Amino acid sequence: MEKFSEIDAWVFDLDNTLYPAQHNLFAQVDKRMTAFIQNALSVSREEAYRLQKDYLRDYGTTLAGLMNRHNMMPDAFLDFVHDIDVSVLPPDPALRDMIDALPGRKFIFTNGTQDHAIRVATRLGISDLFQDVFDIVCANYVPKPNAQIYPDMLAQFGIEAERSAFFEDMARNLPPARALGMTTVLLREADTRDYGGPVGDEHIDHYAPNVKDILARILDHLGG
């Protein structure tokens, strides 16, 4: 935990990071991706779902696969898949207090859109705590974990990697951040590892079951 004393920039992924996956918000996005592909490519639902997951695996996001394989324009896709009901998320005053108590500036780094990030953060009651959002548009539609966009993210935020912490729910998105010197936190609800961290994986400094768990421990350490 000692390294957190040096952190003055806190970078958070959005979906399944700032809120628990159990709320199934991203499940709405997932279903709308399938529906969009089914309509756009005139394929069956089963084929649309297969393509969706294949492109996610091969290109980092489904959108990147659609753009590379089908020359698809991104705006219609992004507008459609993020047209979801965020009311399933309850406001989270405890999360707000924890993020607000972190010393330094706070940011969101997402493969989604800025509008989606703001809608979700507003619903959680934390949108005003973040100084900036680096979204898929800022990244010129190149998604995490492509290493080329991480320096751009740091530059846009005006932060130093060595004084930054990055919170993510997908392990594959952490190595480029760690390679630049960011302190990395993997949020994983079911993991047999010791959440106290640091742990053995060279790309992951800390594990936690959820964001509030690790923030509580960070604040306890900083306050001690």
How confident is the model over 39-86, as pLDDT tens digits?
A: 999 999 999 999 999 999 898 889 999 999 999 999 999 999 999 999
The contacts of residue 164 (CB under 8 Å, 6+ apart) are: 7, 8, 9, 10, 11, 154, 182, 183
How confident is the model over 75-132, as pLDDT tens digits?
A: 999 999 999 999 999 999 999 999 999 999 999 999 999 999 999 999 999 999 999 9
Quote the CA–CA distance of 115 and 82 in Å, as a whole number: 9
Higher pLDDT, 150 or 194: 150
To which H or E segment does residue 32 belong?
A: helix 25-41
Q: Is 150 helix (H, G, I), strand (E, B) or coil?
A: helix
How confident is the model over 150-168, as pLDDT tens digits?
A: 999 999 999 999 999 999 9
Per-residue confidence (pLDDT) for residue 196, from 0 to 100: 47
Confidence of residue 182 (pLDDT cuts 50, 70, 90): very high
Q: What percent of the chain lies above the pLDDT cut of 90?
A: 83
Confidence of residue 189 (pLDDT cuts 50, 70, 90): low
* 214 touches 187 (CB < 8 A): yes
Check the CA dihedral 59-187-83-121 and report its sign.
negative
Domains of the chain: 2-19+89-223 (3.40.50.1000), 25-81 (1.10.150.450)
Q: What percent of the chain lies above the pLDDT cut of 70?
A: 94
Per-residue confidence (pLDDT) for residue 2, from 0 to 100: 74
